Amino acid sequence: MNLNPKTKLIIESLTLKLNSLANELSAKGKNIINLTAGELDFPTPLYIQKEVKNKVNLNKYTPTVGISTLKHMIAGQIYKDYKWKVTAENVAVTAGGKQALFESMFAILQEGDEVIIPTPGWVTYKYQIILNNAKPILAPLNKKFDLDIKEIQKVISKRTKAIILNSPNNPSGSFYSAASLIALKKIIKNKAIYLIVDDIYSKIIYDKTYRTPALFAPQKKYLILINSFSKSQALAGWRVGYVIANKEIIQAVTSYQSHTTGNVSLLSQIAAQEIIKKGDKTKKFIQILKKRRKIVAKLLQTIPRISYDLPKGAFYYFINVSRIETNTEKFCEHLLEAGLALVPGEAFGSPGFVRLSFSASTSKLIKGIKIFKKICKKY
């Protein structure tokens, strides 16, 4: 079949593939503890459900990149969170963070451009860059999963168009230090390099020293801020995110979206408005996640030949199993056969690691890590 040659350059997201496979096996009756999902396991807050239920009769299109009231509300929230003065014209509402990222890249990238990705990093960045005719350039993080400025300096070139910063980081759960962000700011201060700041986990924080990379952008005209309500508000399936950028980028995003998906689901936009209006419930989620994080750490301490850092944000443990098995795709196959689904580090550019999501019930975490320990001992 004569398909677009780009289809040979991309593969299905391994995280979504494994999550689907685990769910399929569960549906067939196999007992699978699924700790792959990058989403909260909490139900959507009742106050959101109630508001959406009351508006379910609404069925018309909205403006392509969002209801005006929602865009104004997001602009106000951006000033509150970032002290960055933007207007509704700087906001585009998208179907989750993925669409926000892709359309932003579409707006700024040209053939031959390069985009630096600190690695390990989210699997989707690489393929979105390729789909937009640019080249992904990997820059390894240091051993503490902080920015390695020397590595970034090595790969910055005349073709560098953007750097993607995701902090707290998926998959490591770490965040970038203020010192490393200040150093990066100095390097790119006089360069026309965009900072694409993926702040999707910025509200799920366990360490008060956190500062978003967006605060370290040397020039606001080269700052593209990506966020969504998916992770922190238990709205993953509702698909509602947004881009904050200069007006020219937002106009390009608007044009693109008008010919692809059109507006985000009206009911999802109503849900987002309700969150901003009444205040998010992330703090309640974090209290539960903190307890789970502690339980997982205690259980992992009993397993020899592995190492890990306590996550400072998000809801992942990124576990080094290289002393047991360096091919973690193979390792995760053994785990799945035993009834546990984890994501191999190869998905993030880090063989020898596995990602464990602790956004699951305490009973699932205990059962899952019991299987993990059993397989580790068998190797």
Architecture of domain 5-44+282-378: Alpha-Beta Complex (3.90)
Phi and psi of 168, rounded to 5°? -55, 150
pLDDT of residue 291 exceeding 90, the answer is yes
Give the whole-angstrom CA distance, residue 130 versus residue 111: 10
Question: What is the predicted pLDDT for the residue at 295?
Answer: 97
Question: What pTM does this model have?
Answer: 0.93
In DSSP terms, 57 is beta-bridged to none
Question: What is the predicted pLDDT for the residue at 20?
Answer: 73
Tell me, which fold does domain 57-278 have in CATH?
Aspartate Aminotransferase; domain 2 (3.40.640)
Question: What are the domain boundaries of the chain?
Answer: 5-44+282-378, 57-278
Query: Does this chain's domain 5-44+282-378 share its CATH topology with 57-278?
Result: no
211 C-beta neighbours (distance < 10 Å), count = 14
Entry field: residues in the chain: 379
Residues 6+ apart with CB under 8 A from 170: 38, 121, 122, 200, 201, 314, 316, 348
Question: Two tokens at 215?
Answer: 């605060």
Lowest-confidence region among 180-194, 266-280, 349-363 = 266-280
How far is the first Cα of the chain from the last one, in angstroms, to the nearest whole number?
Answer: 43
Question: What is the predicted pLDDT for the residue at 59?
Answer: 87
